Amino acid sequence: MFNDIYSSILRELVDFHPHLAASEYYDAKGSNEKIIGAVYKVNPTSSLGLKFGLELTATKLCDLSRLMVTAKDVSNCLQLIPQVAHIQKAPFYPFVTQQEGIVSISVTFPYDKTLSQQHRRFYVESLFVYIKHFCQDFFEQPYTPSSINLDYDAPPYAQEYHQAFDCHVSFNCPLSVMRFKVNNPHNPLITSHTLLHNIYLKRAMETAQKDNGVEHTKFQITNTLMQHHPQSLNSQSHADQFDISVRALQKRLHKTGTSYSDLLALARMELTKIYLYQYRAGVKYSAQQLGFKTVTGFKQFFKSAFGMPLDEAQINHGPLIWE
């Protein structure tokens, strides 16, 4: 998630709250993941994510804020969230949907199945706090969350969620989702500016394209799977994207310790949650969007991935985690 701006904010936050710090923090130079991990090692129930989200103000984020507020309208602004996460190489993928006056934003983790639950909680908290305050500060008609569902246990500081979001918050859900009621998603932003928006977007994309290593290949493939399914659910389309053969693509991924089938399976797990829980789509439509030719094939995948039959999961509505 972090570029230099985020790193600076995180380090300042930890330095300002000495009780959050740990000896490992001082050995974690250049590694934000280690800093976050060090904080949770000392205090597994730390509310670091909520505190960090409050620090993500417009004045500190500069170009990111300018990119968002110069968008055409509310809808376009919110649709930028996944793109911004991609540009910044965030370890999560936000998925935005708009259905019948409801905008929902979920947080998925298709890039790394080993990411700890504490890290996942940190990213969900910080992103949701940032989005909530951004909507209040920059939209002419302030939007506040109508509900928030979280895919983890209620932490000891759960009362802080109600203070931070002022809406109904549910824990132990299949997916972390924030929902807004939006009467007019195409309401123009008073700060909209097409020319400046395109300049900020071009600058951000140029920064994102500087990294072309093997890890970038892995990240880019997963991002494409999340954005452009079901047409992207085959290795040939990704090989064409990098202008190499399928065999060369597999060799490149092998260097990262993974394979295309691993990336596809992980992306499908997260997309399963999105279509069944965020979209509330039917099983047949979900199967089609995930590239399965039959519902039976989708159900077999579901049971293999999550360790329970689909029918049982739909009844329990509990967190869906990897087996």
Give the domain ranges of the chain. Answer: 46-181, 212-316
CATH of the domain spanning 212-316, picked from 1.10.10.60, 1.10.3720.10, 1.10.3230.20, 3.30.930.10: 1.10.10.60
Looking up tokens 């995948």 gives 301
The beta strand positions in the chain, using DSSP E, are 93-99, 102-108, 145-149, 168-170, 176-181
| Ranges of the chain whose pLDDT falls below 50 | 1, 321-323
Say what the pLDDT of residue 320 is: 53
Say what the pLDDT of residue 278 is: 94
Cα–Cα distance, 144 to 252 (Å, whole number): 44
DSSP assignment letter at 147: E
Question: For residue range 211-241, what is the model confidence (pLDDT) as tens digits?
Answer: 666 678 899 999 999 999 999 999 999 999 8
Phi, psi of 92 (to 5 degrees): -135, 160
CB 98 within 8 A of CB 182: yes
Looking up tokens 């998603």 gives 185
What average pLDDT does the structure give for the chain? 87
Say what the pLDDT of residue 322 is: 40
Question: For residue range 44-73, what is the model confidence (pLDDT) as tens digits?
Answer: 889 999 999 999 988 788 778 889 999 999
Phi-psi region of 89 (alpha: psi -120 to 50; beta: other; left: phi over 0): left
Say what the pLDDT of residue 302 is: 95
